Chains A and B, each alone.
Chain A
Amino acid sequence: MTPLRLFLVFFVCALCIACGNAPLRGAGDLGIVVERESGCVTLVDTSARAAYGRVCGLGDLSHAHAVFSRDARYAYVFGRDGGLTKVDLLAARIARRIVQSGNAIGGAISQNGRLVVAQNYVPGGIKAFDADTLDFVAEVPAEYAPGLFSKVVGLADAPGQRFAYALFDGGEIWVSDFSDPRHPTTRRFPAGRQPYDGLVTPDGRHYLAGLFGEDGVALLDLWRPDEGSRKILIGYGAHDEKMPVYKMPHLRGWALASGKAWLPAVGHNEVIALDAANWHQAARIPVRGQPVFVMARPDGRQVWVNFALPDNGKVDVIDTLNGRVMRRLEPGHAILHLEFTPRGEEVWLSARDDDKVTVLDTETFAPLATLPVPRPSGIFFTSRAHRIGF
């Protein structure tokens, strides 16, 4: 090798080192914790059980929700104030941000990852954006009667570039097909009084809308939409008086485990187990408060439940084999949300009033780590990128 060639080799190596100073890494074990007051998200590494960055300037993040690009690099954060922010998890910065409405309540990403859809309270409806650029693509106003627009809840992605959602004021389930992204087509189905949230089953087949204004759940078979929607669990709470509901439950942490679906009972200190084969009630499990999130560990062996005021410092863990509470925890003050690591060996819980996130082992229930996060609420891991309905 001549001296000149040797020099060139060294020069090229030096260049490579200079420009590639950030080591390559994947994004499959990353996630965000929403800080509901500061307008920031804390970026977390679930392998290291640590925060590695913080991104601010996301607006009003009370009740914020996030979905992920299919490469798991970007989080799309939906703010309460209609802000939609695309956060680059690897570069730890905002990639793009728009304000798409005045009052929003979350969103979803399409099956092929190309459309991000926001659900809005004001103006009521859904809006679709290009996942790369956040450019507006199309919208479906939730005009359920001439001149009357409904708040939209329970937006979930379904196979076939479809999105299913419920109209709180309109009492309907709508399914919009974005196969032709600029010209969505929508089918309407009756739901019942005041649907408050909805979900799609992990196989993408069924959409369920929980009803607030009556005891029951609306069910739609997305494989056979021509059969229409029907009501299940009618009068599930008739055995005792409905209590005041101090926090609306969520269905987003859909729990399907051991052949049963596990749902919060509205206004009762109970979790309802449904036989997923026929949608009949299989059991009512007494718990220590009114459930907010009822979430299955990814393997379905346990279901974790947090509660509304005044029991929001408690978490109950249900054994899905025998349908009984196996563990009662008090992991902090105001437990707003929980998220499992991709295969469920650990769970992260946000304790709003303690300004911390706690990581627990789901077998031993031993605390493994505590992260200081100001006013934490929703925790979202990139493993959601590859799950239907998350």
Chain B
Amino acid sequence: MRKTTLALVMKLAASFAFAGESPPAPPPDRQRELVQFVRQDCGACHGLGLAGGLGPSLLPSALEQWPPEALALTIHEGRPDTPMPPWRRFLSEAETLWIAQRLKEGFPR
């Protein structure tokens, strides 16, 4: 079951608009907003330190098996049958991927 889900996500991720080459990073002001956004609003479920809460841990050690594109897809589209909503209303695809990449390497303060 888990493997099927993973395979599906990978397939979808591959079709994600910007898979392959990275879009330009958001400007510094927007990056600061995004950091706050993730810490505060994602943190509402995943914990301010992103170590997990109602939602799972978003620390690099917990995300090892997921490529950034898969994470970006989850952020963008949400996860059905879980409380994880699609965040595309608030984030562009480029911003979503930037967040996913930062999560993989340890999210900035």
Residues in chain A within 8 A of chain B (CB atoms): 36-37, 60-63, 80-81, 103, 105, 121-122, 151, 153, 168, 194, 196, 212-213, 244-248, 309-310, 334, 352
Chosen A-B contacts, 11 in total, with CB atoms closer than 8 Å, are A36-B48, A63-B44, A63-B47, A81-B51, A103-B51, A103-B52, A121-B54, A168-B54, A247-B44, A310-B89, A352-B40
Are the C-beta atoms of A80 and B81 separated by less than 8 Å?
no
Smallest CB-CB separation from A243: which chain B residue?
B85
Are the C-beta atoms of B85 and A80 separated by less than 8 Å?
no
B40, B53, B87, B90: the one within 8 Å of A80 (CB): B53
Complexed CA–CA distance, A42 and B70 (Å): 41
B49, B52, B81: the one within 8 Å of A122 (CB): B52
Complexed CA–CA distance, A4 and B44 (Å): 68
Are the C-beta atoms of A60 and B40 separated by less than 8 Å?
no
In the complex, which range does the number of interface residues on chain B fall in? Answer: 20 to 34
With A103-B52, A168-B54, A334-B40: A244-B85 Cβ-Cβ less than 8 Å: yes
Query: Is B27 an interface residue when CB atoms closer than 8 A count as contact?
Result: no
Are the C-beta atoms of A309 and B48 separated by less than 8 Å?
no
Smallest CB-CB separation from A121: which chain B residue?
B53
Are the C-beta atoms of B47 and A80 separated by less than 8 Å?
yes
Which DSSP category, helix, strand, loop or mixed, fits chain A's interface?
Answer: loop
Complexed CA–CA distance, A310 and B86 (Å): 13
List of B residues within 8 angstroms of A37 by Cβ: 48
* Distance to closest chain A CB from B55 (angstroms): 10
List of B residues within 8 angstroms of A62 by Cβ: 43-44, 47-49, 53
Are the C-beta atoms of A246 and B48 separated by less than 8 Å?
no
5 other contacts beyond A62-B49, A62-B53, A245-B83, with CB at 8 A cut-off? A80-B47, A80-B53, A168-B54, A244-B89, A248-B83
Residues in chain B within 8 A of chain A (CB atoms): 40-41, 43-45, 47-49, 51-54, 78, 81, 83, 85-87, 89-90
List of B residues within 8 angstroms of A63 by Cβ: 44, 47, 53
Smallest CB-CB separation from B52: which chain A residue?
A103
B49, B51, B83, B90: the one within 8 Å of A310 (CB): B90
* Distance to closest chain B CB from A229 (angstroms): 22
List of A residues within 8 angstroms of B45 by Cβ: 248
B40, B44, B54: the one within 8 Å of A151 (CB): B54
* Distance to closest chain B CB from A38 (angstroms): 11
Listed residue (A80, A81, A194) with the most chain B CB atoms within 10 angstroms of its CB = A80
Are the C-beta atoms of B48 and A80 separated by less than 8 Å?
yes
Are the C-beta atoms of A309 and B90 separated by less than 8 Å?
yes
By Cβ-Cβ distance, the 4 closest A-B pairs, closest first, are A62-B48, A244-B85, A62-B43, A244-B86
Smallest CB-CB separation from A59: which chain B residue?
B49
Smallest CB-CB separation from B88: which chain A residue?
A244
Complexed CA–CA distance, A314 and B87 (Å): 20
* Distance to closest chain B CB from A167 (angstroms): 13
Smallest CB-CB separation from B85: which chain A residue?
A244
